A and B are shown apart, each in its own frame.
Chain A
Amino acid sequence: DADVTQTPRNRITKTGKRIMLECSQTKGHDRMYWYRQDPGLGLRLIYYSFDVKDINKGEISDGYSVSRQAQAKFSLSLESAIPNQTALYFCATSDYRDRGKYNEQFFGPGTRLTVL
Chain B
Amino acid sequence: DAKTTQPPSMDCAEGRAANLPCNHSTISGNEYVYWYRQIHSQGPQYIIHGLKNNETNEMASLIITEDRKSSTLILPHATLRDTAVYYCIARDSGGYQKVTFGIGTKLQVIP
Interface residues of A (CB under 8 A from B): 1, 4, 31, 33, 40, 42-43, 45, 48, 50, 56, 58-59, 88, 90, 92, 94, 99-110, 112
Contact = CB atoms under 8 A, between A and B. Distances in A.
A106 B98 CA distance: 13
Residue in B32, B44, B103 with the greatest tally of chain A CB atoms within 10 Å: B44
A40 B93 contact: no
B46 A106 contact: yes
Count class of interface residues, chain B:
20 to 34
Contacts, number: 72
27 contacts: A4-B43, A33-B97, A42-B87, A42-B100, A42-B102, A42-B104, A43-B44, A43-B100, A43-B101, A45-B98, A45-B99, A48-B98, A50-B96, A90-B44, A92-B43, A100-B51, A100-B93, A102-B93, A102-B97, A103-B34, A103-B93, A104-B34, A105-B46, A105-B99, A108-B43, A110-B42, A112-B41
B39 to A, nearest CB: 11
B49 interface: yes
Contacts of B41: 88, 110, 112
A104 B94 CA distance: 13
A109 B91 CA distance: 24
Contacts of B98: 33, 45, 48, 58-59
A37 B97 CA distance: 18
Interface in B26-52: 32, 34, 36, 41-46, 49, 51
A81 B36 CA distance: 30
A104 B93 CA distance: 10
A103 B103 contact: no
Nearest to A41: B103
Contacts of B104: 42
Contacts of A58: 98
B46 to A, nearest CB: 5
B73 interface: no
Given A33-B98, A42-B104, A100-B51, 14 more contacts: A1-B43, A42-B100, A42-B101, A42-B103, A45-B98, A45-B100, A48-B96, A48-B97, A88-B41, A105-B36, A105-B46, A106-B46, A108-B43, A109-B42
